[in-house]
Amino acid sequence: MRNRKRTKNKAETRIVVDKEKWGVNDNTYAIPPDFYYDVEYECSDCSERSVWTALQQKHWYEELGKTINSFAKRCQICRARINADKEDQKRHMVEMANKPEHPNEKFFKKG
């Protein structure tokens, strides 16, 4: 867990791990932790310090069933920017698919 550490907040959130759901998709013999704690990390894009809350971890590992080897890497702002870029690209691809064919399209597609 490079660049990740528990927050210094003494009143940090501590949530009990549901050991039946933890790591269900991983085929692992790893021992599940007893609790989720808030974890501070550095965003890989903007280098800002962010907190991956215990509640977010519980949702990630238990509800979504993500691999136990995955961690938060980007802050919410950078994730939102990436998702917006993906939506723009999807919208562009739909526009290109609906674009009328050029009159000389067959000339350009030899083969």
| pTM value surpassing 0.85 | no
User: How does residue 1 score in pLDDT terms, banded at 50, 70 and 90?
Assistant: very low
Chain segment 31-71, per-residue pLDDT in tens = 888 999 999 999 999 999 999 999 999 999 989 888 888 88
φ, ψ of residue 41 to 5 degrees: the values are -145, 165
What pLDDT shows up at residue 21?
Answer: 83
110 confidence band (pLDDT: 50, 70, 90)? low
Assess contact for 56 and 16: CB atoms under 8 A. Answer: no
Q: Where are the alpha helices (DSSP H) in the chain?
A: 54-58, 76-98, 105-108
- In this structure, what DSSP letter does residue 48 have? -
Residue with the bigger pLDDT between 6 and 20: it is 20
Q: What is the Cα–Cα distance from 51 to 49, expressed in whole angstroms?
A: 7
Strand, helix or coil for residue 60: helix
pLDDT for the residue numbered 2: 56
